[in-house]
Amino acid sequence: MNIPAILAAEFKLTAEQIATTIDLIEDGNTIPFIARYRKEATGGIADTVLRDLDERLTYLKNLVSRKEEVTRLIDEQGKLTPELAAEIEKATVLQRVEDLYKPFAKKRVTRASKAKEKGLEPLSEIIWEQAVTSGDINEIATPFINIELGVENTEDAIAGACDIIAERIAESADLIAALRNLTRIHGLLTSEAVDKDEKTVYEMYYDYSEPVSKIPNHRILAINRGENEKKLRVKLTVDVNFFTARIERSIITAQSIFFELLKTTIADSYKRLISPSLEREIRGELTERAQTDAIKIFAKNTENLLMTRPVKNARVVAIDPGFRTGCKVAVLDEYGKLLEYTTIYPTAPKNDVIGTERTLSRLIDKHKINVIVIGNGTASRETEQIVSDFLQKSYPQVKYTIVNEAGASVYSASKLASEEYPDLDVTTRGAMSLGRRLQDPLAELVKIPPKSIGVGQYQHDLNATYLDKTLAAAVENCVNRVGVDLNTASSALLSYIAGINSAVAKNIVAYREENGGFTDRKQLKKVPKLGDKAFKQCAGFLRIANGKNPLDATSVHPESYVVAEKLIGRLDGNSAEIAKELGVGLPTLLDIIAELQKPGRDPRDNAPEVIFSREVKSFDGLTIGMELTGTVRNVVDFGAFVDIGVKNDGLVHVSKLTTKFIKHPTEVVSVGDTVTVWVSNIDKERGKVGLSMVKKNI
C-alpha cells in the first residue's frame, strides 16, 4: 500500500506535506509542537487535522500489518493462491481482509466441520458443481453412508453436505460484501417495548422503525441504551425473500437435480449464519459511527468550554449552593489564592437571609470583592435570588454570574485536590473550583477528567478508551494553544504541555518549590527526567513572566531566539525578504513578528465575554415568545442547551437554530456562546423549556 498517497488524496494535501508530516510524527514529535513550530514542513496543517491524520496513519499501518499476517497464516496452510494474495493486497479496509481470511480461520466446532469429519465434503462438491441434470439424489448420496462415522442413511449424508455448503456460502467474501452493502441500504432498525405498560424515557421507541441508512446517531445511542437497560427489544430487519433471491442468483447456475436442495440450503445459510452475522456487524457499524460522532462533538464542546474567556482581575466570592448543609463559600483573590472560607444558610430549612447578607457584606468589604460566583446545582436559583436582591440594594457595583459546576465534586474528592489542599474539606475545595472556573476556566477544568465536565452526550455509553484519548487530545490542543505560566501552573495543567507527562510535571513543581521560581527556560533542563528531546517539545509553550530573557514570556521557541533578536527593530521591512535574509521560513517569521507585536497574547480573548448580573427569572414567569439572552452550555446532535436563568437549561432544537439547512448544530453554535433566544414552548409538568434562535420560528 502506498500510505502517503492514500493520505494525500484523503486529506487533500501534497505528497511532500504528507511525507514530512509522517517523518515528524515517526520521529516522536508531538502534535502541538508540529502544528506550532514546524509549519514550514507541514504547510501549516492545523493541530486538529494533524490528529486526524495521525489516527488514519495508525489505521493504515495496522491494515498493512494485518494483511501480512493473514497472508502468512493462509500460506502456512498451503492454501494461498496468487489470486487470493492479490485480493488481500488490494483490500483497502480491515473488514475486507477479515472476509477473505474467514474461510481459513480456525473455528469452533460447527455443523459443517462435523460433516467434513464424516467425509461428506466430496458430496458437497458434487452438489455445489450442479453438473448432474438427471437421476436420483439419494443414489448419488448412497456411497457416503458410513455408520461408523454417524452417517446412517442418505438423508444424513445430504444434510451434512448441505451444512458444508451453507457455511461455504456464508464465507464467500464477495457475496457477503454485497449482502452487507444491501443491508446498509435496505435494512431497518426496529425496536419494541419489553413492557408496553411501563413508563420510561424510551416510550417513543416502543414501536419504532427507521432505515439503517438514515437513522441519526443520537437515536442509535438512545436505542442502544434502552436495549442495555432491558426496556427495548431491538433487531435489524430486511426483506428475507429479496436477500435469498440475491444469493440464489449468484449460486444457482443451472436447472440441476439439486435446484430445490440448493434453494433450501441458501435459505438455511442466510437465516442461520449470514443474517445473524450481518446484524451484529451492521449494528456494530452503527454504534461505532454514533460513538465516533458523539466523541468528536464531545471533544469540540470540550475545546470550546476550555477556551472560554478568563475573567481577569476578578476578586471572587464563590458559592456552592445547598439546602440542609448550607452554602459553602470560598473567597479568592484575583490570582485564585484562597483568602477565607465559610458557610452561609440563605435557603431552607434555615432561611437565614439576614445572616447571609451580613456575611457577604463583611467579605465584600474586607477583601474588595467585585464578583460573586454561584454554582448551578441544587439550590442554585434560590441562592441566586437572595444574592441578586442583596447586591441590587447594597452593592450594585458588584456583579454576579452562574457557573456550571459539572465535575466540581469529582475534583474536590480527587487525589489531586487532596494533594493541593490537604487541610481543606471537599466542600470548600468544590467552592474554590467554581470561583477559579470564572478566573481561568482552562487552568481549573484540566484538573477534572474531561468526560466529567458536562458537555457530552451519552458519555457513559461510549467507548471509554477512545473517549479518554480523544478528550485528552482536545485538552492538550487547548493548553498548548494558550501556553502556561511556568511558575504558577499546577502539575495537572503542566501534564498537558507537549512533551511533558504527569511525572515530569510533578518534578517541575517540586523543582520550583525547592529552588524558587524559574527565571530562564534553560533551567528546565535541570528538572529530573526532562531531557533535550522533551525540552524541544515543551519549551515554547511554557512562559516565564519577568524572567531574564523577555522572549521567555512569549511563544517564540528558544530555537528561534537568534532570529527574533535580529528581527527586533526591523518589523517594518518586507517579511519575505527578511525571512530569506535570516534563513528562516516565512510562517515561522510571521509567528515571531505577531508575538513580538503582542507578547503573550491569549487566543481566548476572542471568545465571548461572560454574562454578569442577569435578572433572576422563575420558571413560572416565562411566557411564549419571551425574548431572552443566554449562554450555550452544551451542543448535541439534536440541538443546543442554553442557560437562560431558570433552573433547567432550555433546548433549542436543531430545526430552530437557523433558517438555513445545516447538518449539525455545531455549524451554528458553540459551547460558551452568548445567544438571543425566544421561548417557543413550556412543559410545566417536566420543567422543560423549548427555545428558538429564529424569532419567526417560535
Do 485 and 518 lie in one domain? The reply is yes
Do 526 and 658 lie in one domain? The reply is no
How far is residue 78's CA from residue 312's CA, in Å, rounded to a whole number?
Answer: 72
Q: What digits encode the pLDDT tens for the residues 254-264?
A: 889 999 999 99
Q: What digits encode the pLDDT tens for the residues 102-152?
A: 999 998 899 999 999 999 999 999 999 999 999 999 999 999 999 999 999
Which pLDDT value is given to residue 600?
79
Q: What digits encode the pLDDT tens for the residues 219-272?
A: 999 999 999 999 999 999 999 999 999 999 999 988 899 999 999 999 999 999
607 inside domain: no
Number of domains in the chain: 4
Mean pLDDT of the 338-350 span? 97
Residue 572 has pLDDT above 70, yes or no: no
Last residue of a domain, one of 54, 76, 104: 104
Residue 551 has pLDDT above 80, yes or no: yes
Residue 616 has pLDDT above 90, yes or no: no
Q: What digits encode the pLDDT tens for the residues 283-295?
A: 999 999 999 999 9
Q: Residue 26 burial by CB count (10 A; 0-12/13-18/19+): exposed, middle or buried? A: exposed
Do 175 and 245 lie in one domain? The reply is yes
- How many CA atoms lie within 13 Å of 419's alpha carbon, on the beta-carbon side? 11
Q: Which of 204-208, 327-331, 641-645 has the lowest mean pLDDT?
A: 641-645
Do 499 and 587 lie in one domain? The reply is yes
611 inside domain: no
Which pLDDT value is given to residue 141?
97
Last residue of a domain, one of 104, 135, 163: 104
Q: How confident is the model at residue 619 (pLDDT cuts 50, 70, 90)?
A: confident
Residue 618 has pLDDT above 90, yes or no: no
Q: What is the CATH number of the domain that holds 196?
A: 1.10.3500.10
Residue 216 has pLDDT above 90, yes or no: yes
Mean pLDDT of the 172-179 span? 97
Q: What digits encode the pLDDT tens for the residues 354-391?
A: 999 999 999 999 999 999 999 998 999 899 999 999 99
Do 417 and 449 lie in one domain? The reply is yes
Do 255 and 351 lie in one domain? The reply is no
584 inside domain: yes
Q: Determine the residue type at 167.
A: E
Please report where in the chains the cell 430552530 appears, as a residue: 656
Q: Is the peptide bond before 449 cis (omega within 30 degrees of 0)?
A: no
Do 405 and 445 lie in one domain? The reply is yes
Which pLDDT value is given to residue 24?
98
Do 51 and 121 lie in one domain? The reply is no
Residue 302 has pLDDT above 90, yes or no: yes
Which pLDDT value is given to residue 567?
87
635 inside domain: yes
Mean pLDDT rounded to a whole number for the chain:
94
Domain around 287: 111-296
138 inside domain: yes
Mean pLDDT of the 533-557 span? 96
685 inside domain: yes
Do 423 and 504 lie in one domain? The reply is yes
Residue 569 has pLDDT above 70, yes or no: no
359 inside domain: yes
Which pLDDT value is given to residue 682?
95
Q: What is the CATH number of the domain that holds 507?
A: 3.30.420.140
Do 692 and 670 lie in one domain? The reply is yes
Which pLDDT value is given to residue 610?
85
613 inside domain: no
Q: Which of 42, 46, 47, 48 is nearest to 8 (CA)?
A: 42
Do 499 and 447 lie in one domain? The reply is yes
Mean pLDDT of the 561-574 span? 80
Which pLDDT value is given to residue 596?
87
Q: What is the CATH number of the domain that holds 649?
A: 2.40.50.140
Q: Determine the residue type at 274.
A: I
Residue 441 has pLDDT above 80, yes or no: yes
Do 35 and 64 lie in one domain? The reply is yes
Mean pLDDT of the 553-561 span? 96
- How many CA atoms lie within 13 Å of 537's alpha carbon, on the beta-carbon side? 22
Contact partners, residue 252, CB within 8 Å, separation at least 6: 130, 259, 262, 263, 266
Residue 510 has pLDDT above 70, yes or no: yes
How far is residue 555's CA from residue 559's CA, in Å, rounded to a whole number?
Answer: 11
Last residue of a domain, one of 263, 296, 329: 296
Q: Please check whether residue 130 is in contact with residue 254, taking contact to mean a CB–CB distance below 8 angstroms.
A: yes
Q: What is the CATH number of the domain that holds 90?
A: 1.10.10.650
Mean pLDDT of the 566-589 span? 81
DSSP structure string for 297-315: HHHHHHHHHHTSPP-TT--
DSSP letter (8 states) at residue 646: S
Q: What digits encode the pLDDT tens for the residues 634-688?
A: 999 999 999 988 888 999 999 999 999 999 999 999 999 999 999 999 998 888 9
Which pLDDT value is given to residue 615?
66
Which pLDDT value is given to residue 686?
85
Q: How confident is the model at residue 611 (pLDDT cuts 50, 70, 90)?
A: confident
How far is residue 586's CA from residue 577's CA, in Å, rounded to a whole number?
Answer: 9
Residue 401 has pLDDT above 90, yes or no: yes
Which pLDDT value is given to residue 613?
64
